[in-house]
Amino acid sequence: MDIQERILDTAFSLFCQFGTRSITMDDIAQRMGVSKKTLYAHFADKDELVMHAISRYLNHLAQECVEYQDKAANAIDELFLVMKMLDQSFRNMNPIILFDLQKFHVKAFQVFQDYKYNNLQKTVRQNLERGVREGLYRSDFDIEIMTQYRLATSMLCFQPDIFPYGKYDMSKVQCTLLEHFLYGLVSPEGYKRVEENKLQLQ
């Protein structure tokens, strides 16, 4: 792994744990055992580092979602595979990171918004369309409305006023919200598939 990748890994790990506001370039350099000069040789400032760290993480998520789309046997299996991946990703992530991006890192927050309203929205819509084709979701709902609904509920765990960090397990919140989202959509056959996937998680 080259030095730039190490910087991004270290910075993102600290941002996930503490948010971006409370982490300085000194903190990152100290954690890595390098000088601040090394960091500035690769990134102009902290804002640029945050943007690259977030962009790299979101690109990784997008690639994994495409892999799960291809690997999953059906639309419901796809969502549970993605949920397991997000469980690992979000397990130690402080939800304050999204608030920090919005307030202190405009460019990084715009990267996140672009991902949410382009990549993630497209992925959700494709899953709904797939589920309807496979007969696992009912066909009597508005796909566009439910796409927006899913986008909104998937962001709830990043709102500490609703789910305070430390009081709620983020992965459990995501799992519960996904299950109830699916229960509102599935056909009788789809319901069976949801229950089978839940058993596999136990």
What pTM was computed for the model? 0.87
Dist. CA 85–CA 159, nearest whole Å? 20
Q: Say which CATH superfamily domain 61-201 falls into.
A: Tetracycline Repressor, domain 2 (1.10.357.10)
Looking at residue 129, its pLDDT comes to 97
Residue 108 has pLDDT above 90, yes or no: yes
Looking at residue 112, its pLDDT comes to 94
Looking at residue 1, its pLDDT comes to 59
Per-residue pLDDT tens over the stretch 127-176? 999 999 999 999 999 999 999 999 999 888 888 788 887 888 877 888 88
Work out the percent of the chain whose per-residue pLDDT is above 70. 98
Per-residue pLDDT tens over the stretch 49-75? 999 999 999 999 899 889 988 999 999
Domain segments of the chain: what residues? 61-201
Q: What letter does residue 24 receive in the DSSP assignment? A: -
Mean pLDDT, range 33-42, rounded to an integer? 95
Residue type for 169, please?
D
Beta bridge partners of 168: 165
Phi, psi angle pair for 21, to nearest 5°: -65, -40
* Confidence band for 89, pLDDT divided at 50, 70 and 90: confident
CB count within 10 Å of CB 53 equals 24
